[in-house]
Amino acid sequence: MALFASDIKLIRSLQQKKFRKEHSLFVVEGVKPVQELMSSTFKIHAVYATEPLDFLNEDFIHVSEKELGRISGLKSPNKVLALVQIPKTDSQKWQNSLILLLDGINDPGNLGTIIRTAKWFGVSEIICSTDCVDAYDRKVVQSTMGALFHVNLTYRNPLEAMNEAKQNGFTVLGTSMTGSSVYELETFEKTLLVIGSESHGMRENVSSACELLCTIPNFELNRKIESLNAGIATAILLSELTRKNIA
């Protein structure tokens, strides 16, 4: 079955946020991400593939490699592409003992890495401030490697989310260059960990609403490196916080 011009136009348009919002659709590419998608509860609009992969249903749309290249956002298209419905934002469940709040993360690669890392450490609830990069941007989706389909991700006013977290018994732990060492923190029964933007950290009003601030100590004596990548910092913090809770 050949691709129609309207299909190509639609899929290409989804590289822009306004069209993703208009159609409530986003694109997933590659064998591993689509395989993870197939095992999730996300609603699939259509699947285009160059061959009958073993995890696909029989109703996928067969396309040539050339046709896949016309709709792909990758330099080297990888066998399969899916159109997926953007899920409606669910309310917070507050069921995890460790939840992430991201304040102003605007780099797609960082957000994707954070989502993938969070899932690795068992964090399945992530709150993004409304000015974070769109989680359904192709670069974000690709860098999560399928973890996006197994987390509850919402976009909210961070201060409202922090207040709600406190009402649900969470300790709101912010991140700052001047905070206490994460390696010296006490353990908390429930923690909302706030990660600030790549360039500016947490906003002042968000920082003020935190109950505690922590930092990752800099062991580089000459202090030539001023800060860590947001994705790497999140991985270190989650590793330490989860270690404390299972120790």
Q: How far is CA 176 from CA 157, 172, 187, 195, 199, in A?
A: 20, 13, 18, 9, 12
Do 159 and 50 share a structural domain? Answer: no
Would 202 be classed as within a structural domain? yes
Q: How confident is the model at residue 204 (pLDDT cuts 50, 70, 90)?
A: very high
56-81 tens-digit pLDDT:
988 899 999 999 999 998 888 889 99
Alpha helices for 16-85 (secondary structure H): 17-23, 31-38, 65-71
Provide the domain count of the chain: 2
73 and 156 in a single domain? The answer is no
Are 158 and 215 contained in the same domain?
Answer: yes
In angstroms, what CA-CA distances link 31 with 53, 54, 108, 117, 189?
9, 10, 20, 20, 38
Same domain, 139 and 167: yes
What pLDDT sits at residue 75?
84
d(CA 13, CA 27): 10
| pLDDT tens string 93-139 | 898 999 999 999 999 999 999 999 999 999 999 999 999 999 999 99
Residue 93 forms part of a structural domain: no
Beta bridge partners of 175: 214
Assess whether 190 and 223 both reside in one domain. yes
Give me the CATH number covering residue 54: 3.30.1330.30
How much is the pTM?
0.91
Residue 134 included in any domain: yes
What residues contact residue 201 under an 8 Å CB cut-off, 6+ apart? 175, 176, 177, 207
> The domain that contains 121 carries what CATH number?
3.40.1280.10
Q: Which domain-ending residue is among 85, 116, 131?
A: 85
Domain enclosing residue 36, as ranges: 5-85
Do 102 and 178 sit in the same domain of this protein?
Answer: yes
Q: Is residue 90 part of a domain?
A: no
Among 60, 85, 110, the domain-final residue is 85
> Got the DSSP string for 204-244?
HHHHHH-SEEEE-----TT-------HHHHHHHHHHHHHHH
Identify whether 38 is part of a domain.
yes
Q: Quick one: 72 and 102 in the same domain? A: no
d(CA 112, CA 34): 16
In this structure, are 52 and 105 located in the same domain? no
Judgement on whether residues 128 and 162 belong to the same structural domain of the protein: yes
